[in-house]
Amino acid sequence: MSEAQIAIPVLKERLQRPPLTPGQLSWHRFLRHRMALVGAGLLVALVLYVLAGAAFFSEADANHVDLSSTLRGPSAEHPFGTDLAGRDILARTIYGGQISILIGVLAVVLSVVIGVLVGAAAGYFGGAVDNLLMRFTEAMFNIPQMFLLIILAKFFGVEAPSFTLFGRTFSGSVVVIVSVIGLTSWMYLARIVRSSFLSLKEQEFVTAARATGATDSSIIFGHILPSAIAPIIVSATLEVANAILYEAYISFLGMGVQPPTATWGNMLNEAYSKLEVAPWMWFFPGTLILLIVLAINFVGDGLRDAFDPRSLGGRSK
């Protein structure tokens, strides 16, 4: 087959999608990358905000109660206003952000570990193991996560002692929340990993590895897993947004991280009662949550398109 004859079907495929004048073409290509770039930029900005902000405010500032200036609106002294106990909201969003993001990341790490183990075992060993694990996964899928989270957080939230790490005091509830979110978020990943493994284990490089006497675990972790890494990365990224959201949800309901440790979520819990008089109390933390979830979604989308070889030039979701 001549080169042109092979090129034509590919060309035909590309012809079916995309846009118009050459000007709009490049703009579109730029736009696609741009969304991911904007997302990444936003993400970096937010992370800088919570990390670098610590240079300007100490944790004590964030928790400093000043009953003489409660519920003040944004001003020069308190750019984001003050809350019920007169604490500076700007400082609290900085430290709260650290916790929110930290919880999100750690929870995802936990869920990735569980998800990969379950998915890999199910996909690789197949048979009864697969059956059992998948039933279990499906069952977990069917139990709405929100309810499960609330129950686990409320009833198993041990009165864990606060601890100090890197010069910051963390309420013990942070560990509880990380575990709880991680333990209920791994299912989607397990499924993805399983289907990757199901298809990859039939490939020749696996048979070759086995022929040289490699052990199951070295095949799983050394050979198959690296090939399956792309969808895991995409999923994990998007999962961070989810985890941050869920932390916010349960903290908002008062069952997550307990004060005085701030998270963006529990700041909203406090704001709820003063909704009418002090909108700044919920506006700033809420918008920060929105921004970071948005940023992560953009980046995740960009990653997904970057890893998917089929979406050349056009299919934006």
Binding residues (CB under 8 A) for another protein: these are 2-5, 8, 11, 14-22, 24-25, 28-29, 31, 35, 135-136, 138-148, 150-151, 154-155, 241, 245, 248-249, 252-255, 268, 271-272, 275-276, 279, 282, 286-287, 289-290, 293-294, 297-298, 312-313, 315-317
Distance in Å, CB of 221 to another protein, minimum:
28
Closer of 231 and 254 to another protein (Cβ): 254
Cα–Cα distance, 173 to 251 (Å, whole number): 10
> Which residues, 6 or more positions from 131, have their beta carbon under 8 angstroms from its beta carbon?
none
Tokens for 153, please give them.
């957080």
Q: How long a stretch of residues is the chain?
A: 317
Distance in Å, CB of 225 to another protein, minimum:
27
Closer of 76 and 317 to another protein (Cβ): 317
Cα–Cα distance, 233 to 304 (Å, whole number): 9
Distance in Å, CB of 27 to another protein, minimum:
9
Cα–Cα distance, 255 to 239 (Å, whole number): 21
The answer to whether 120 and 134 have CB atoms below 8 angstroms apart is no
Distance in Å, CB of 68 to another protein, minimum:
26
Distance in Å, CB of 11 to another protein, minimum:
7
Strand partners, 163: 170
Distance in Å, CB of 290 to another protein, minimum:
6
DSSP state of 87: -
Closer of 200 and 254 to another protein (Cβ): 254
Closer of 113 and 275 to another protein (Cβ): 275
Give CA 30 to chain center in angstroms.
26
Cα–Cα distance, 295 to 38 (Å, whole number): 7
Closer of 221 and 272 to another protein (Cβ): 272
> Which residues, 6 or more positions from 299, have their beta carbon under 8 angstroms from its beta carbon?
36, 39, 40, 43, 237
Tokens for 83, please give them.
């809350």
Distance in Å, CB of 8 to another protein, minimum:
4
**Strand (E) positions, 156-301?**
163-165, 168-170
Closer of 272 and 307 to another protein (Cβ): 272
Cα–Cα distance, 170 to 211 (Å, whole number): 51
Closer of 152 and 206 to another protein (Cβ): 152
Distance in Å, CB of 277 to another protein, minimum:
9
Closer of 61 and 126 to another protein (Cβ): 126
SS3 169: strand
Q: At residue 263, what are phi and psi to the nearest 5 degrees?
A: -130, 165
